[in-house]
Structure 1
Amino acid sequence: MKYINKNLSIEKVKVQDISKKFGTPTYCYSYGQLKKNIDDFKKNFSSFAPLICFAIKSNTNVNLIREIRKFGLGADVVSIGELMMALKAGIDPKKIVFSGVGKTTDEINYAIDKKILLINAESKSEIIEIERIARSKKKIVNIGIRLNPNTDAKTLKQISTGKKENKFGVDEKTFFALVNYSKLSKNISLKCLSVHIGSQILDYKPYEKMLKVVDKIIKKSNHKFKFIDLGGGMGISYEKNNKKLNYQKYNIAIKKFLRNHKSKIIFEPGRSIVGNIGSLISKVIYIKENGKKDFIILDAAMNDLMRPALYGANHRTLPAIKTNQTSKKIYEFVGPICESTDKFTTLKKFQKLKEKDLVVMCDVGAYGMSLSSNYNVRPKPSEILIKGSKMNVIKKRQKLKDLI
């Protein structure tokens, strides 16, 4: 995304033209950026050729997942719906891992029937249920056990998953007990040690610490794991001053780990694949003056983009057309929903806006549409994939008549 003759453009298409054709609010995805992200990810870890399983929860658009599948990626799913979505997009079942702490009997049944690569279990009760279902089907089911390494990912507490107070995985003592239990079972085959410490991680050091814990656990377990699932969590730069995760240093740490363990590495990236490919175009409905601050009331709301309300997350906001006028007032960008948390960002020295102007919120490809809702009976936006100068609708805007 860049300005061409003062017009903000996604690849070769002006934001203004997208708005004219599809209305607002509208999600747009850059195919070129998607390709670049996947190529960079593969290149940085090419020395050990990991299985890359895209985290479906980050973006659930089936047409976008189809494009991701064409690059050879698998899928990380956390519900029967996500598993169905991955299969509908054509992802090979043998490249699908099923994660999550609360898999139901129906979900486990479905996953076993579809012969997916792994079910990553997170408790003894879950393993007993997988074993019971596998026995009833007279099958042997491949599982992983998710370890909670008690590692601080140095990220937002709402998206930390690898500390002992988090609900995910099992502690060291329980892990060893479950390894021993699995070895005695005739219907489950323990193939994988799984671990995931959080999301939006920008420092490779927590990963290094995690790998040291995993190394120690494997040695003590005396079990050969075919797969080591390191999860995802790789962060992206949401602001210009944010540092980026150093893939090369993480790669070095994994190669060092693999000297002692001849296992296949699995990654579950989501945000790092689709986060910066997405933009949300919105129109200014009203400008409401309020002393030193003006409320910029947009037609996009927290139901369209939940991250700011949910996490206090900040997304760069840009005007669709550049001018040389700067507002002397503070701008608070808000939506029309009847909640005080329905606001996106507060900015000083933003370009002067007027009603019906367009603004674009950046880096919304991950946990944008996938967290959206119909709160206040608002239809979900359309989704557009942009490839060069071509615009393809990959999901139509919802209609009120379909909601009511």
Structure 2
Amino acid sequence: MKYLGQEFFIEKIKAKLIAKKFGTPAYCYSYSRLKENIENLQKNFKSFNPLFCFAVKSNTNKYLLNEISKFGFGADVVSMGELIRAISAGISPNKIVFSGVGKTAREIEYAINKKILLINAESKSEILQIEKIAKLKKKTINIGIRLNPNTDAKTLKEISTGKKENKFGVNEKTFLELVDYIKNSKNLNLKCLSAHIGSQILDHKPYLKMLNVLDKVIRKSNHKFEYVDLGGGMGIDYVHNNKKLNLKKYNSYIQKFLKVNSCKIIFEPGRSIIGDTAVLITNITYIKESDKKDFIILDAGMNDLMRPALYKAEHKIIPIVKKKIKSKKIYEFVGPICETTDKFLTIKNYQKLNENDLIVIYDVGAYGMSLSSNYNLRPKPIELLIHNSKIKIINKRQKLSELV
């Protein structure tokens, strides 16, 4: 995805031709970038051959999940709906881990019936619920316990999951008590220690701290874990300043950890696989002038891309056709939703824009469509997968008639 001359291309196709044929807003994914991201992760961690379980919550498109599964990936799911979607997309149940703090009895029973790899439990109450269902079914269930390592990922507080004030996992004391409890259970088999410290991590140091905590807890537990699930959280370069997570460093930390703890590593990547594979093409409906800035009103809104409103996240925004003329005004890119938070970016020294110009919002592959909604009764956008000169519709544009 880049400019060739003055025009923006997605693989070998002009973005303006895509907009003309399929309309806007439109989510456009690059297959080549997806393949590149997957192979890059596999290459960097091939020394210990981890099981990669794609975080389905980051992107639930069935076609994309199927493509990802072809690289040997499993799935990390956090609901019964995601579990059903993953299996229907061709992901093997024995490569699926079920995470989340609020699994219902119905969801647990469904996961047991599908014989998934692991249910990663996050509380004593959940473990008792799993045991109760297992007893009724006269089965022994493989589970993991999610430890909260009280590790600050140094990222947005809204996506922090590994600090003691977060709702996820259990503290060390409770973890060790649960290990002892499960050892005496006839219906539970403790296979995994799980941890996940947050999302959009670009510094390797929090991962080192997490691994040190896990190492100490494993020694205290006196239990042989077949799996250690390190979660995901590996970030991408949203601001395009070439800041990237040092995967070589992270790999070296894990190799050192594995010399002491013989186990199979599980990763749950989502954003690092799918985040930068997609752009959102949108049209400028109006330009509303004011004293200090101009509002660039788009046909894409916070219902289509929720991250800026939810996290104050910033996504790079570029014009589909580059021009040399600069605007003297500040531009604020906003959507049509009746909320003040429906805005994407405020920027100075942007090129001069006109109504009906097309623009591209970058890096929307993760938590773009999966967080989208029908707020203001707006239909969800189309999703397209582009590979070289081919375009495949992988999710049709929702019709207004389906809503009303």
TM-score, normalised to structure 2, is 1.00
Other-structure match for 2:49: 49
Distance in structure 2 (CA, Å) of the matches to 1:362 and 1:267 = 25
Other-structure match for 2:241: 241
CA drift of 1:242 comes to 5.3
Residue by residue, what CA displacement relative to the aligned partner does 1:88-133 show, whole Å, maximum 9, x if unpaired?
0000100000000000000000000000000000001000000010
Distance in structure 2 (CA, Å) of the matches to 1:240 and 1:80 = 36
SS at match of 1:179: helix
Alignment gaps of 5+ in structure 2: none
SS at match of 1:376: helix
Structural mapping, 1:83-98, within 5 Å = 83-98=83-98
Distance in structure 1 (CA, Å) of the matches to 2:110 and 2:288 = 52
The amino acid across from 1:281 in the alignment is I
Other-structure match for 1:357: 357
Other-structure match for 2:9: 9
SS at match of 1:40: helix
Other-structure match for 2:339: 339
Residue by residue, what CA displacement relative to the aligned partner does 1:193-226 show, whole Å, maximum 9, x if unpaired?
0000000000000000000000000001000000
Distance in structure 2 (CA, Å) of the matches to 1:302 and 1:240 = 22
CA drift of 1:16 comes to 0.3
Distance in structure 1 (CA, Å) of the matches to 2:172 and 2:37 = 35
Residue by residue, what CA displacement relative to the aligned partner does 1:341-377 show, whole Å, maximum 9, x if unpaired?
0000001111111000000000000000000000000
Distance in structure 2 (CA, Å) of the matches to 1:249 and 1:289 = 49
SS at match of 1:243: coil
| 2:62 is equivalent to residue 62 of structure 1 | yes
Distance in structure 2 (CA, Å) of the matches to 1:12 and 1:329 = 34
| 2:143 is equivalent to residue 148 of structure 1 | no
SS at match of 2:377: coil
Residue by residue, what CA displacement relative to the aligned partner does 1:251-303 show, whole Å, maximum 9, x if unpaired?
00000000001100000000000000010000000000011310000000000
TM-score, normalised to structure 1, is 1.00
SS at match of 1:120: strand
Residue by residue, what CA displacement relative to the aligned partner does 1:235-263 show, whole Å, maximum 9, x if unpaired?
00001225110000000000000000110
Structural mapping, 1:17-56, within 5 Å = 17-56=17-56
Distance in structure 2 (CA, Å) of the matches to 1:298 and 1:86 = 33
SS at match of 1:9: strand
Residue by residue, what CA displacement relative to the aligned partner does 1:141-190 show, whole Å, maximum 9, x if unpaired?
00000000000000000000000000000000000000000000001100
Distance in structure 1 (CA, Å) of the matches to 2:357 and 2:109 = 51
Alignment gaps of 5+ in structure 1: none
Other-structure match for 1:192: 192
CA drift of 1:5 comes to 2.4
Distance in structure 1 (CA, Å) of the matches to 2:285 and 2:359 = 11
SS at match of 2:375: coil
Distance in structure 2 (CA, Å) of the matches to 1:366 and 1:74 = 17
The amino acid across from 1:362 in the alignment is Y
The amino acid across from 2:66 in the alignment is R
Distance in structure 2 (CA, Å) of the matches to 1:28 and 1:134 = 44
Query: Identity of paired residues, percent?
Result: 69
Supply the RMSD in Å over aligned alpha carbons: 0.5
Distance in structure 1 (CA, Å) of the matches to 2:179 and 2:49 = 27
